[in-house]
Structure 1
């Protein structure tokens, strides 16, 4: 079955959806797209997304299609009901469309569709009475991380270990250690939520880990790290210092001391030694953060909100980020002062002024960084980066 994940509110999830569809955001241990494939029966995923992303994340139309909003976070029960849909049927919940099953002709007849409701003509609606989880704003990735991680436990199948050995101390019983993972002389507390250490991950000596927590494939937790859940350390990340309720998508580094709390870090980022983020205002008030739609700061509804950093951005040693700071993609921050709370994509943020990163230099850095992890920088990547460079926000 062809599953079309349809983006309708991609701007609500900037800066992370500058470089990926909404369904490729990491909502817990897995991306939304990965969850659909894990729960579904032979679902093949494709994307209806912003034109700048469509080459890298292709749209495919087949004779039989399921169309689903990207912001819908799947559960086993929901996916089962979606799989049961017949042609020209829609699954709905309290007036919201969860999924529609359509033939290619019906989709082709609405080429300019900007929302799933555009396909709703002559459709039989079936009410779904189970629990429904939506990704409504980007900060849901850390505020809802505990729920996501608790539900994700059922997706870890096959053989795994529950005793790390190597002079570790484990509290509670919700520990999963996948094949090839190594944990040395650390404490792991699962009484507050599950802890999953995926295959090939390494937890060095003296770490204190508190669930809910996911440590991704090939990730490294460096000596003496303190990690408070709910937290997600994505694949091939390297982390150290103190981390609380934060999300790393993958291939990013925070390898040294410094505090990161209530934050989201995209892919291919690097936080220099002793980079710190403030996640709470001195007056304990609501944190404002940059809104890309209004081009102004808006209330986040949160008392705790730290750093939102897009892909390939970096900070120098001793960088201090204020509460609710948003950094675009490919930004470089190297100032001893507090940088602005909104840093544009490709910004070259120095001590006294902000310049723009040269695009060819950005390619060179990305190529060098990605080669170290044996990941290619493709021509499609370059075309996307050129678009983002010319439309930097």
Structure 2
């Protein structure tokens, strides 16, 4: 079975996260959509209509051989926004949908580019009348709010993919530790409410406390921290403080003390000592978010913040509940102790990062993890910078 994971035009519901990454690279639960379906199907390609134009066409080389080519023989399309409760089993000439009619998958003998574009545009009414429908159980991620809202459930659902991995040992029915992970003395793990997964090479240092469901990714270091239910820490993060119902993408750091609640933290983010993200209002009213000039009604009592890729939050800051700190922002105490919403490339509250200093910072940040900034990715960042309103 040759599988194509697509990004639909609903990527706009995931801004600002989707400004710097495709939907198949956004973590929900334990895995990104690409990791999830590659684990099952092995031969997996990806496609987004955004790749046809700048600046996203600049990222084709980074995607590499995962990128769909019209010459590829594709017989199955899967929507990157869907998280199945169990392994998908697409049948020939069937279209899978959610109970709300959202597209999940289709499998045919051979799928051409025009059909792929139709599905990316959510034009599936003709397909529903032509092929037999199958309702598929799982979670459909409609927007960035759902990423955090359903994270606990998704970690639990995806534990079945860990149970079958012989590299994990299970000292408790709900704790799964990779054989190369290191758990030091005086660590408390509480799996009563869900699974705890400690992945390859992770280190849990003394006096750390972890509640399930939680996932600690490859090579990540947990230092004297309290990791509460519903938390995902991806690869090569370094975490201090208290983290609750939040997602940290790869290579991000939470330094020293502080609380992070109900938040999404992008790739290569730094959060300084004693900086906290609030996650509810004192009067317990629902939290609204502001994206540009648009007010988003979250209808949630708890929601912290979205912190975009490569952002830096200095020491001693308070990030208000319902905040959106867009990508490549640098915030610091001398400018303002309390922040809510920040545009991309913000330097403090009222200024903009200088592009040469930003590129230099990104290179240094990536070098820490032995990653080199490609010329295409640099052009991509510069394009976003020049076209930011």
Distance 1:106 1:252 in 2: 39
Determine if the alignment matches structure 1 residue 134 to structure 2 residue 140.
yes
Query: 1:345-373 CA distances to partner (integer Å, 9 max, x unpaired)?
Result: 101015xxx11111121111111111111
Determine if the alignment matches structure 1 residue 189 to structure 2 residue 211.
no
Aligned to 2:131: 125
Aligned to 1:74: 84
Query: 1:38-68 CA distances to partner (integer Å, 9 max, x unpaired)?
Result: 223x331212142433442444222334233
Seen in structure 2, the aligned counterparts of structure 1 residues 120 and 21 have a Cα distance that, compared at 3 Å, is farther
Query: 1:232-289 CA distances to partner (integer Å, 9 max, x unpaired)?
Result: 0110000011111110011000021101101110000000111011111111101111
- 2:160 pairs with 127, 150, 154, which one? 154
Stretch of structure 1 that moved more, 257-266 or 68-77: 68-77
Stretch of structure 1 that moved more, 67-76 or 270-279: 67-76
Distance 1:109 1:183 in 2: 49
Query: 1:64-94 CA distances to partner (integer Å, 9 max, x unpaired)?
Result: 34233321223434x21x2x224xx433344
Distance 1:272 1:110 in 2: 44
TM-score by length of 2: 0.89
Determine helix, strand or coil for the equivalent of 1:250.
coil
Seen in structure 2, the aligned counterparts of structure 1 residues 134 and 178 have a Cα distance that, compared at 3 Å, is same
Determine if the alignment matches structure 1 residue 85 to structure 2 residue 92.
yes
TM-score by length of 1: 0.88
Whether contact under 8 Å (2:3, 2:78) holds in the other structure is no
Determine helix, strand or coil for the equivalent of 1:141.
helix
- 1:98 pairs with 100, 104, 110, which one? 104
- 2:69 pairs with 38, 54, 60, which one? 60
* RMSD of equivalent CA atoms: 2.3
Determine helix, strand or coil for the equivalent of 1:343.
coil
Distance 1:362 1:180 in 2: 36
Query: 1:195-216 CA distances to partner (integer Å, 9 max, x unpaired)?
Result: 0010100010011111111000
Query: 1:165-214 CA distances to partner (integer Å, 9 max, x unpaired)?
Result: xxxxxxx6311110211011200011111000101000100111111110
Aligned to 1:167: none
Seen in structure 2, the aligned counterparts of structure 1 residues 110 and 15 have a Cα distance that, compared at 3 Å, is closer
More helix per residue: 2
Distance 1:126 1:112 in 2: 18
Distance 1:277 1:109 in 2: 43
Whether contact under 8 Å (1:21, 1:47) holds in the other structure is no
Residues paired across the two proteins, number: 373
Aligned counterparts, 1:204-223, within 5 A: 204-222=205-223
